[in-house]
Amino acid sequence: MQQDALISVIIATYNRPDALEAVVEACFAQSDRHFEIIIADDGSGDPTRDCVARLQQRAPVPLRHAWQPDQGFRLAMARNQGILASRGEYILLLDGDCIPQHDFIARHRMLAQPGFMVTGSRILLDEAFTQRVLADRRDLHALGLGEKLALRARGHINKVLQLLFKLPDLGRVQKRFTWRRIKGCNMAAWRADIEAVNGFDESFEGWGHEDADFVVRLFNAGIKRKDGAFATEVFHLWHRENARDEASSNRALVRRRADERTVRATRGLA
Whether 93 is in a domain gets the answer yes
Structure pTM?
0.95
Each residue's pLDDT expressed in tens, for the chain with a length of 270 residues: 888 899 999 999 999 999 999 999 999 999 999 999 999 999 999 999 999 999 999 999 999 999 999 999 999 999 999 999 999 999 999 999 999 999 999 999 999 999 999 999 999 999 999 999 999 999 999 999 999 999 999 999 999 999 999 999 999 998 888 877 788 899 999 999 999 999 999 988 776 789 999 999 999 999 999 999 999 999 999 988 765 555 667 888 888 998 999 999 999 998
Considering only CA atoms, give the Rg of the chain: 18
Whether 190 is in a domain gets the answer yes
Whether 269 is in a domain gets the answer no
Q: In what order do the strands lie in the sheet with 122-124?
A: 98-100, 234-236, 122-124
Residue 203 to residue 183: CA distance in whole angstroms: 19
Q: Quote the number of domains for the chain.
A: 1
Give the pLDDT confidence of 195-218 residue by residue, as tens digits. 999 999 998 877 678 999 999 999
What letter represents residue 215's amino acid?
V
Whether 270 is in a domain gets the answer no
Which residue(s) pair with 122 in the sheet?
234
Q: What is the CATH number of the domain that holds 252?
A: 3.90.550.10
Residue 92 to residue 245: CA distance in whole angstroms: 28
Residue 263 to residue 265: CA distance in whole angstroms: 7
Whether 1 is in a domain gets the answer no
Quote the domain boundaries for residue 101: 7-260
Q: What is the 3-state secondary structure (H, E, C) of 59-83?
A: CCCCEEEEECCCCCCCHHHHHHHHH
